[in-house]
Amino acid sequence: MSDFEARLAELGLVLPEPAAPVASYVSAVQVGELLHISGQLPFVGGALVTGQLGDDVTLEQGVEAAQACGVMIIAQAKKALGSLDRVARIVKLGAFVNSTPDFTDQPKVVNGASDLMLAVFGDAGLHARSAVGVPALPLGAAVEIDAILQVSA
């Protein structure tokens, strides 16, 4: 078990089976020392978290959904790399929050994923980020997050 997997266990988190793509793309592409992970949807208790922040999804549920996206990003990284020990840095998270026009707490929602990266990867989990409100996401998901990771050979 890698140090990163041990940190996940300490947090009480188990990596799920990485989700298969829902359309014509692949889950991860490595170019040089960068691993690009496609947008991941939030699964909590095996169910997709759907709905819209500012309407039928609370801020707390949104934060949990963002954390679930982060867990799936880590699962995809492990599948692509074979070991989380190859993760050198979380470079950037790109987050989309299904939200009403008057909802403006997208950054607070996305902290669910950002805080997870810091908890699991330590200083290597500090990253650049965007948190964008959108009117709809695939499958009605509440949140979708993609990632760019720096990896070692």
Query: Which single residue is written with the structure tokens 């997709």?
Result: 48
2-43 pLDDT per residue, tens: 789 899 999 999 999 998 998 999 999 999 999 999 999 999
CB-CB contact of 102 with 136 (8 Å): no
Confidence of residue 127 (pLDDT cuts 50, 70, 90): very high
pLDDT band at 60 (very low <50, low <70, confident <90, very high): very high
Q: What is the predicted pLDDT for the residue at 153?
A: 82
Tell me how far apart the terminal alpha carbons of the chain are, to the nearest angstrom. Answer: 19
Look at residue 6 and give its three-state secondary structure.
Answer: helix
pLDDT surpassing 90 at residue 1: no
pLDDT given at position 63: 98
| Domains delineated in the chain | 3-151 (3.30.1330.40)
Using DSSP bridges, classify how beta strands 143-151 and 34-40 pair: parallel, antiparallel or unpaired.
antiparallel
Q: Is the pTM here over 0.75, yes or no? A: yes
